[in-house]
Amino acid sequence: MTLAATLLAAEGGANPLIPHDYELIVGIFAFAVVFLVVGRMLVPRIQKTLAERTDAIEGGIKRAEDAQAEAQALQQQYRDQLAEARQEAARLREEAREQAAQIKAELREEAQAEARRLIEAAHAQIEADRQQAFSQLRAEIGRLSTDLAGRIVGESLEDEARQRRTVDRFLDELESSSAQAVR
Amino acid sequence: MSALTVLASSGDEFGAPTPEELFQLPPIIPGVDWFTKPVLLALLSSVLVIAFCWAAFANPKIVPRGVQNVVEYGYMFVRDQVARPFLGKDADRWMGLLVSIFFTVLVWNLMGVIPILQFPVASHIAFPAVLAIMVYVIKVYLGMKHQGAVGYFKNMMFPPGLPKPIYVLLAPIEFLSNLIIAPFTHAVRLFANMFAGHMLLAFFSMVGFWFLFEKLTPLGAPVGVVGVVMTIILTGFEMFIQFLQAFLFAMLAAMYIGGSLHAEH
């Protein structure tokens, strides 16, 4: 280089290929400052940031994948829970239906028992009434008998046959009325 | 600014700007010889690069905002287009150096089209040379470290799998191209592009200025218009070249470093 420079310098005084001393010094200084500040201080910083950015982007992708997996798991879980809830609801409905049927049967049973009880009470009442009627009738028959007897005794016994007929008729009446009362 | 000084000294005739006029600039403060425009711009470039990178990366966020987006885009560009293709898994270790080189050279170059400043720092050979020499030193050091002092030269000058007589020709060529010419072209490619680009822009802008403002004549006006239009077009083109050269400079640095880390086949 110096060789070439000297060769060219031989041509004339102001050779643009011959560097000025002070420009060399300034050039060294100017570049050294740039290299120290930019090359040594700032470039490592941006390199670190770029590496972090790459990490962040990759991390972002990873996070997105994780989130998606989580969402899918959650969806599956919800689906399971929903199916479970449906089953539960069906079971509850079934149970309610059974209970309703049971309650209905019980009520019917109760109603029937009540009805029976009422019928029985009615029967008993009727029987009692009948007994009462019968006993009253008995008393009536006695009274009527005495009455009749009085009448027979009171009336002159005009006709024996007639008398006999009267007694027979009375007895027949009595019989039929007694049979009616007993029935 | 330089166009005005040129015009003042050229009298009535239009004279194209010469390299001396464009590139040998007087000290900004009379008496302080070293403090010239390119020196000022080189220092300003460092300040700008540091300021932008500081605003972007001092407190980097995982979700980037504002300046961080822009500078991060530049960082990604260097990483994916410069570092990874040539350094592979070692890319991250060398990002500091490569980002510094790319941003510094890019700002140096862009100084050529920033209004008022308008001087590409890299058009003074000292600045590209500093970077090229630094890369060269790193390259040779890494080569000897990773391939051994002898192995480095052996891998460079005697790549295996060739007929013996070829080496007579190949060995000196490889030595010359890798150790002498490579750093020189590394620096000169950038320097010459910026140098030529600046001259072109200066020439066309001076044509426009001269024929439209200094000596406005019916015949000269169309020439002045052409000069202005060309200046605009070439400024766009120059911005592309400035970016491309910064990219190329960083790419070659990565290539040299990568070549020293792993022996070429």
pLDDT tens-digit profile of A96-113?
Answer: 999 999 999 999 999 999
pLDDT value, residue A183: 62
Alpha helix positions (H), B111-181 = 126-147, 149-157, 164-175
CA B141 – CA B150 distance, rounded (Å): 13
Nearest of B74, B25, B143, B87 to residue B258 by alpha carbon: B87
pLDDT digits (tens, 9 = 90+) for B37-63: 999 999 999 999 999 999 999 988 888
- For residues B223 and B104, the answer to whether their CB atoms sit within 8 Å is no
- B126-164 in b/e form (b: 16+ CB < 10 A) is bbbbbbbbbbbebbbebbeeebeeeebbebbbebeeeee
- Residue A157 in contact with partner chain B when CB distance is under 8 A: no
| Residue A179 pLDDT greater than 60, yes or no | yes
- Segment A47-74 shows an average pLDDT of 92
Greater confidence, B227 or A151? Answer: B227
Domain boundaries, chain A: 14-182
Instruction: Find the range with the poorest average confidence among A135-144, B197-206, B243-252.
Output: A135-144
Rounded to 5 degrees, φ, ψ at B113 are: -115, 0
pLDDT value, residue A1: 44
| Residue B257 pLDDT greater than 60, yes or no | yes
CA B109 – CA B249 distance, rounded (Å): 12
Confidence of residue A12 (pLDDT cuts 50, 70, 90): very low
pLDDT value, residue A149: 81
CA B209 – CA B5 distance, rounded (Å): 12
| Interface size, chain A vs chain B, as Cβ–Cβ contacts under 8 Å | 121
Asked whether the beta carbons of residue A30 and residue B183 sit closer than 8 angstroms, the reply is no
Rounded to 5 degrees, φ, ψ at B149 are: -55, -45
pLDDT value, residue A137: 87
Asked whether the beta carbons of residue A48 and residue B49 sit closer than 8 angstroms, the reply is no
| Residue B178 pLDDT greater than 80, yes or no | yes
Asked whether the beta carbons of residue B104 and residue A34 sit closer than 8 angstroms, the reply is yes
**C-alpha distances in Å from residue B55, one per residue of A25, A40, A48, B96:** 27, 16, 16, 17
A176 token code pair: 């039929």
A96 token code pair: 């309610």
**C-alpha distances in Å from residue B219, one per residue of B202, B211, B226, B228, B230:** 22, 9, 12, 16, 18
In sequence order, what are the residues at sequence separation of 6 or more whose Cβ sits closer than 8 angstroms to the Cβ of residue B35?
B27, B28, B29
CA B265 – CA B255 distance, rounded (Å): 14
CA B165 – CA B155 distance, rounded (Å): 17
- Segment B167-177 shows an average pLDDT of 91
pLDDT value, residue B15: 81
Task: Look up the pTM and report it.
Answer: 0.70
CA B154 – CA B81 distance, rounded (Å): 30
- Residue A20 in contact with partner chain B when CB distance is under 8 A: yes
The residue of chain A with its CA nearest to that of B184 is: A1
Q: Identify which of A55-59, B99-103, B153-157 has the greatest average pLDDT.
A: B99-103
- For residues B240 and B120, the answer to whether their CB atoms sit within 8 Å is no
Is the dihedral angle over the CA atoms B74, B75, B80, B83 positive or is it negative? positive
Q: In a 3-state reduction of DSSP, which class is residue B18?
A: coil
pLDDT digits (tens, 9 = 90+) for B65-123: 889 999 999 999 999 999 999 998 899 999 999 999 999 999 999 999 999 999 999 99
CA B61 – CA B73 distance, rounded (Å): 14
Q: Nearest Cβ partner of B39 from A23, A28, A49?
A: A23
A85 token code pair: 């809830």
Asked whether the beta carbons of residue A31 and residue B58 sit closer than 8 angstroms, the reply is no
- Burial class, B59, CB count within 10 angstroms (exposed 0-12 / middle 13-18 / buried 19+): exposed
- For residues B53 and A44, the answer to whether their CB atoms sit within 8 Å is no
Radius of gyration of chain B (CA): 22
Domain boundaries, chain B: 2-261
Asked whether the beta carbons of residue A27 and residue B45 sit closer than 8 angstroms, the reply is no
Cα angle B94, B98, B101 (rounded to 5 degrees) comes to: 150
In sequence order, what are the residues at sequence separation of 6 or more whose Cβ sits closer than 8 angstroms to the Cβ of residue A43?
B57, B75, B95, B96, B99, B100
Contacts of A60 in chain B (CB under 8 A): none
Nearest of B236, B226, B139 to residue B179 by alpha carbon: B139
- Rounded to a whole number of angstroms, the distance from the CA of B226 to the nearest CA of chain A is 29
> Mutate which of A1, A21, A45 to disrupt the B interface (most B C-beta within 10 Å)?
A1
**C-alpha distances in Å from residue B108, one per residue of A136, B104, B128, B180:** 149, 6, 10, 25
Q: Nearest Cβ partner of B19 from A16, A31, A39?
A: A16
Greater confidence, A116 or A162? Answer: A116
* Average pLDDT of chain A to the nearest whole number: 85
| Identity of the residue numbered B262 | H
Confidence of residue A13 (pLDDT cuts 50, 70, 90): very low
Q: Residue B33 carries which DSSP code?
A: T
| Residue A9 pLDDT greater than 50, yes or no | no
pLDDT value, residue B226: 93
pLDDT value, residue B62: 87
